[in-house]
């Protein structure tokens, strides 16, 4: 089963507060002159986003906890103990891809190159928030569909996080329709457009979403982990 979605920027209801932590304002207060700059950027952002995403459900999944492996169709992933532990009760799974489109990154780079790196960075952060917010909506839709059949879903996990090698995106993309939602993969496993995400969500009767437990992960470069550590 393959399902695709399209969203307008305004459907995601992104507000300034969604950007504060990623911009480094961990106390929730945005100092001047940032509020006006962020508000203008958010008003302008819809012109540069082409938000698409979706998932493909695989009816069976084989998880080998001792080997820390997950097999879907003819591909075997080696994510990490963190992920295999959280997905071990899965009876099926969904692979997903979602993107904010290339326009937001192109605009961010253009503004930075024209001499306004701060505004360029704000647009870069908006792109990151956009794709995550869109993926939140897709995940909620998947959860709703699965509940109709008495199933639940896990949190979502992406290559590049939770000690899962980003190189395994090659396996993930090999299982998805070619150029799914307009996202392609380079030989070095980087997605194009840049503001894109991919990953896996477990499906099963005994699963539940626990929220991301950043203390489990050793990735010190993860931006979300950095935010949680700053908040502590």
Q: Which domains does the chain carry? A: 2-231 (3.40.109.40)
**Spatial contact of 73 and 171, defined as CB atoms under 8 Å apart:** no
pLDDT of residue 29: 81
Task: Tell me how far apart the alpha carbons of residues 174 and 124 are, in angstroms, rounded to a whole number.
Answer: 28
pLDDT of residue 190: 94
pLDDT of residue 23: 87
pLDDT of residue 232: 46
In this structure, what token pair is assigned to residue 73? 């169709």
pLDDT of residue 66: 87
pLDDT of residue 213: 57
pLDDT of residue 222: 58
Helix (H, G, I), strand (E, B), or coil: what is residue 156?
A: strand
Task: Tell me how far apart the alpha carbons of residues 135 and 117 are, in angstroms, rounded to a whole number.
Answer: 27
Residues 6+ apart with CB under 8 A from 28: 17, 20
**Spatial contact of 13 and 134, defined as CB atoms under 8 Å apart:** no
Residues 6+ apart with CB under 8 A from 114: none
Task: Tell me how far apart the alpha carbons of residues 142 and 147 are, in angstroms, rounded to a whole number.
Answer: 9
DSSP 18-82: GTTTTTT-TTS---TTHHHHHHHHHHHGGGG--EEEEEEEES--EEETTTTEEEETTEEE---HH
Task: Tell me how far apart the alpha carbons of residues 167 and 216 are, in angstroms, rounded to a whole number.
Answer: 21
pLDDT of residue 110: 97
* pLDDT tens for the 232 residues of the chain, in order: 999 999 999 999 999 999 988 888 876 788 888 999 999 999 999 999 999 999 999 999 999 988 899 999 999 999 988 899 999 999 999 999 999 999 999 999 999 999 999 999 999 999 999 999 999 999 999 999 999 999 999 999 999 988 899 999 999 999 999 999 999 999 999 999 999 999 999 999 999 887 765 555 556 555 555 545 444 4
Task: Tell me how far apart the alpha carbons of residues 82 and 105 are, in angstroms, rounded to a whole number.
Answer: 31
Give the Å distances, CA to CA, from 32 to 24, 112, 124.
Answer: 14, 20, 20
pLDDT of residue 33: 87
């Amino acid at each position: 089963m393959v399902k695709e979605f399209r969203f307008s920027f305004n459907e995601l209801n992104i507000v300034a507060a969604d950007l504060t932590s990623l911009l480094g304002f961990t106390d929730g207060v945005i100092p001047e002159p940032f509020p006006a700059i962020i508000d203008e950027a958010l008003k302008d952002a819809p012109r540069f986003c082409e938000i698409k995403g979706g998932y493909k459900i695989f009816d069976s999944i084989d998880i080998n906890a001792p080997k820390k492996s997950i097999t879907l169709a003819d591909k075997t992933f080696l994510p990490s103990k963190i992920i295999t532990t959280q997905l071990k009760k899965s009876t099926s799974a969904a692979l997903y891809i979602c993107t904010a489109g290339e326009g937001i990154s192109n605009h961010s780079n253009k503004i930075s190159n024209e001499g306004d790196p701060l505004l360029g960075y704000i647009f870069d952060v908006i792109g990151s928030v956009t794709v995550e917010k869109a993926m939140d909506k897709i995940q909620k839709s998947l959860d709703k569909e699965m509940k109709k059949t008495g199933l639940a879903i896990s949190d979502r996990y992406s290559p590049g996080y939770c000690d899962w090698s980003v190189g395994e995106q090659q396996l993930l993309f090999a299982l998805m329709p070619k150029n799914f939602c307009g996202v392609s993969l380079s030989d070095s496993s980087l997605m194009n457009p840049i503001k894109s995400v991919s990953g896996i969500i477990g499906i099963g009767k005994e699963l539940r979403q626990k929220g991301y437990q950043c203390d489990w992960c050793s990735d010190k470069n993860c931006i979300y982990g950095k935010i949680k550590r700053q908040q502590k």
